Chains A and B, each alone.
Chain A
Amino acid sequence: MIFVTVGGQMPFDRLIKAMDQWAANQPQLRCLAQVGRGGWRPKHMDWVEILPPQKFREHLNGAELVVAHAGMGSILSALDMGKKLLVMPRRGHLQETRNDHQMATANRLAAMGLVIHARDEKELPQLLPPHGKIDPRRSTSCYASPQLLDAIRSFISEPDPDTLTTAITSYE
């Protein structure tokens, strides 16, 4: 199953339309799309406006591939489960979100090898089967990096800015 999600806040019809067009030529694959409240309704994919968190996780868990907007909620949830993840960012100038922060996020995470980044609806089908090969990503832990956890843990038990400054310098 391919799980498509645009997050829970607002629709992102450009992604859903592109995925629907692609799905039309992949009758052997089952796709489920969470299109957001009032989002465009696809014809070649199963769809739902919004899933409650528990159901969302179930579908995510059952997916072989996740295609999402580049929102951190969707990204982290998919990475938590070690899913292959393709993201297409919402753009500021198209009023899909307030600015181009999703573009920046997608660029950075793609450079780290955590996600596959489709810049727009033209690039998207090129990266999906049968054209693009999507490599299994390395798995990540479902928690923050040990460095960040240690910093916060030690600050909670000993809120002394001096020790922290020392620790930070040592990472530079």
Chain B
Amino acid sequence: MAEPKKKRVLAVSSGGGHWVQLLRLRPAYQDQDIAFATVNSDYQQDVTQHRFFLINDATRWDKMALLILAFRLLFIFIRFRPQVVISTGAACGYFAIRLGKLFGATTIWVDSIANVEEMSLTGQLVGRHADLWLTQWPELAQPQGPYFHGGVL
């Protein structure tokens, strides 16, 4: 049987826990043609054998940084043309999912495990736009999404 063709997967997250969780999901996408976009150039050490794009960090209160972030991601989308986008948050994940839909990619949002009692704010905003919307806590699952399908632990 022929090997299934690899898909271009863009994995996007901000720093700290978001990045660690994105890496914990790696076995799910590492057989594909993958690239990472994240906010700290030091993280490249974690994924040396893969394409790496640096983006800026932005909180929802900093409109200018959000705008720059959106444009940087747009530039990455034009260059890499991902067929799949996966994100664990936060703000950069919002733009990545929205751009992913715009570019016709399959989009996956895995809400951070840090959100035990309610979905993250970004998750609430962007979840419905993702093709696959997951929470890591069964209590937060809803019939229309987010779905629960296990966690990063």
The chain A residues found within 8 Å of chain B, CB to CB, are 7-9, 52-54, 71-77, 79-80, 101-102, 104-105, 107-109, 112, 114, 140, 142-153, 155-157, 159, 161, 164, 167-168, 171
Q: Are A145 and B134 in contact (CB under 8 A)?
A: no
Which B residues lie within 8 Å of A150 (CB)? 28
Least Cβ–Cβ distance between B129 and chain A, in angstroms: 14
- Closest B residue to A147 by CB, please name it: B150
* B47 CB, min distance to chain A CBs, angstroms: 12
Contact residue among B25, B45, B113, B153 (Cβ-Cβ distance under 8 Å from A53): B45
Of the four ranges (under 10, 10 to 19, 20 to 34, 35 or more), the interface on chain B belongs to 35 or more
Write out the residue numbers on chain A whose beta carbons fall within 8 Å of the beta carbon of B7. Answer: 156-157
Q: Mark B95-129, 1 if CB is under 8 A from A, else 0.
A: 00000000000101010111111000000000000
29 contacts between A and B (CB under 8 A): A8-B16, A9-B16, A53-B43, A72-B20, A72-B21, A72-B112, A72-B113, A72-B114, A73-B17, A73-B19, A80-B20, A101-B114, A101-B117, A102-B114, A140-B153, A143-B24, A147-B149, A147-B150, A148-B28, A148-B150, A148-B152, A151-B132, A151-B150, A152-B28, A152-B29, A155-B106, A156-B29, A156-B32, A159-B132
Measured between beta carbons, the chain A residues less than 8 angstroms from B115 are 101
Q: Which residues of B contact A143 (CB under 8 A)?
A: 24-27
In the A-B complex, list the 4 residue pairs whose CB atoms are closest, starting with the nearest.
Answer: A72-B17, A147-B150, A148-B150, A73-B16
State A79–B84 Cα separation when bound (angstroms): 29
The answer to whether the Cβ of B77 comes within 8 Å of any Cβ in the partner chain is no
Residues of chain A within 8 A of B53, CB atoms compared:
none
Q: How far is the CA of A143 from the CA of B149 in the complex (A)?
A: 15
- Indicate if the CB atoms of A151 and B153 lie closer than 8 Å: no
Does the CB pair B25–A168 fall under 8 Å?
no
Residues A145 and B151 in contact, CB atoms below 8 Å apart = yes
Q: How far is the CA of A148 from the CA of B17 in the complex (A)?
A: 17
The chain B residues found within 8 Å of chain A, CB to CB, are 4, 7, 9, 15-21, 24-29, 32, 40, 42-43, 45-46, 84, 86, 106, 108, 110, 112-117, 131-132, 134, 136-137, 147-153
Q: How far is the CB of B54 from chain A (nearest CB, A)?
A: 14
Contacts of A167 in B (CB 8 A): 149
B84's contact among A71, A114, A140, A156, by CB below 8 Å, is which? A156
Known: A101-B117, A156-B28. A76 touches B4 (CB 8 A): no
| List of A residues within 8 angstroms of B153 by Cβ | 76, 79, 109, 112, 114, 140, 144-145
A57 to B28, CA, bound (A): 24
A96 to chain B, nearest CB (A): 15
Known interface pairs A76-B152, A104-B116; A159-B131 also in contact (CB < 8 Å): yes
CB atoms of B116 and A77 under 8 A apart: no
13 more contacts with CB within 8 A, not counting A54-B42, A101-B116, A159-B132, are A9-B16, A53-B45, A71-B114, A73-B15, A145-B152, A147-B150, A148-B136, A148-B151, A149-B150, A151-B132, A151-B134, A155-B131, A168-B149
